[in-house]
């Protein structure tokens, strides 16, 4: 049995590791990466890099490579590839599972402002602060580029490309982050508002605890929905159970 894992997340890597260790006997995995990051953390097993050419290209790949199952373990905000996966799986007749880590939930002391998009987050900012810690990644920063009165600490894995905010600094770094590190960052840069996607997971959550401790507001960008009708697993272990069932002819 052959499974294609659409990757780019820690959960996708973990699933590939479990499968490489023989968690589902007789199952071989290929992980696909978009190729956005210059030095990605590679999972074990077969890896392919680059787009497929939309849903049609992905459906053709699934047929050519005789894939028996597809796990969309992409980032919760990678909406296009997830929509493509749903269409391609339906067209190719391949069972699909979305592996999505749960989103974050506010706790006592959090001051969260929800936004439906990066553009909406940018609209909220001027009323919330002057010095912004922007942690939404290097894509889509154009949404903040016109906010000339605000100063931005932009954190991303690879350097962002213009248009980007005119005032501020870029910090190239990749999680996991620590609470002490995040608190120090907020203090050193005199941050008064944080912007994040609702990415979920432990690796980047310390910024939320640091903001809470400092009493800072956080603008949280909501996730796009998982395509209708697609089954969702919250952990790599749940995905394994689904794969084991799929291997026995169940779903």
Contacts to ligand NAP by CB under 6 A: 6-9, 32-34, 36, 51-54, 57-58, 74-75, 77-81, 84, 137, 197
Q: Across the beta sheet with 168-172, what order do the strands follow?
A: 111-115, 217-221, 193-197, 131-134, 151-156, 168-172
Please report, to the nearest 10 degrees, the dihedral formed by the alpha carbons of residues 37, 220, 118, 160 taken in order.
Answer: -30
> How far is the CA of 76 from the CAs of 6, 81, 115, 203, in angstroms?
12, 10, 15, 14
The Cα–Cα gap between 208 and 73 comes to 24
| Nearer to ligand NAP (CB atom), residue 213 or residue 234 | 234
CB 4 to ligand NAP: min, Å: 9
CB 57 → ligand NAP: shortest distance, Å? 6
Min. distance of Cβ 6 from ligand NAP in angstroms?
4
Q: Can you read off the two tokens belonging to residue 220?
A: 């949280």
CB closer to ligand NAP out of 31 and 132: 31
Closer of 6 and 70 to ligand NAP (Cβ): 6
CA-to-CA distance for 241 and 23, rounded, in angstroms?
A: 10
Going from the C-alpha of 141 to that of each of 63, 92, 118, 169, 247, the distances in angstroms are: 37, 36, 8, 13, 42
- Closest separation in Å from C-beta 51 to ligand NAP: 2
Min separation Cβ 30 and ligand NAP, Å: 10
Nearer to ligand NAP, 10 or 125 (CB): 10
Contact present, 130 and 150 (Cβ < 8 Å): yes
Preceding peptide of 176 cis, ω within 30°: yes
Give the nearest residue (CB) to ligand NAP.
51
Q: How many CB atoms lie within 10 A of CB 184?
A: 12
Helix (H) or strand (E) holding 72: strand 69-72
Min. distance of Cβ 107 from ligand NAP in angstroms? 23
Least Å from the CB of residue 117 to ligand NAP: 13
Nearest residue (CB) to ligand NAP, 124 versus 203: 203
Closer to ligand NAP by CB, 6 or 134: give it: 6
Nearer to ligand NAP, 132 or 192 (CB): 132
């Amino acid at each position: 049995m052959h499974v294609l894992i659409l990757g780019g997340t820690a959960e996708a890597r973990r699933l590939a590791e479990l499968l490489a260790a023989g968690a589902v006997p007789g199952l071989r995995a290929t992980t696909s990466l978009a190729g956005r990051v210059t030095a990605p953390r590679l999972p074990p097993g077969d890896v392919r890099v680059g787009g497929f050419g939309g849903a049609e290209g992905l459906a053709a790949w699934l047929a050519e490579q005789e894939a028996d199952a597809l796990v969309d373990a992409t980032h919760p905000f990678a909406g296009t590839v997830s929509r493509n996966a749903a269409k391609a799986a339906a067209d190719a007749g391949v069972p699909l599972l979305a592996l999505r880590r749960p989103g974050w939930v506010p706790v006592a002391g959090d001051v969260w402002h929800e936004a439906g998009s990066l553009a909406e987050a940018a609209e909220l900012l001027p009323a919330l602060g002057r010095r912004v810690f922007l942690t939404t990644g290097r894509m889509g920063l154009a949404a903040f580029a016109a906010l000339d009165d605000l100063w931005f600490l932009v954190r991303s894995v690879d350097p962002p490309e213009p248009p980007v905010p005119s005032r501020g600094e870029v910090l190239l770094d990749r999680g996991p982050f620590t609470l002490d590190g995040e608190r120090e960052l907020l203090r050193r840069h005199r941050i008064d508002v944080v912007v994040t996607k609702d990415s979920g997971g432990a690796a980047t959550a310390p910024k939320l605890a640091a903001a809470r401790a400092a009493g800072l507001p956080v603008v949280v960008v909501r996730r796009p929905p998982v395509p209708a009708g697609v089954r969702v697993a919250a952990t790599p272990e749940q995905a394994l159970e689904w794969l084991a069932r799929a291997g026995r002819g169940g779903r």
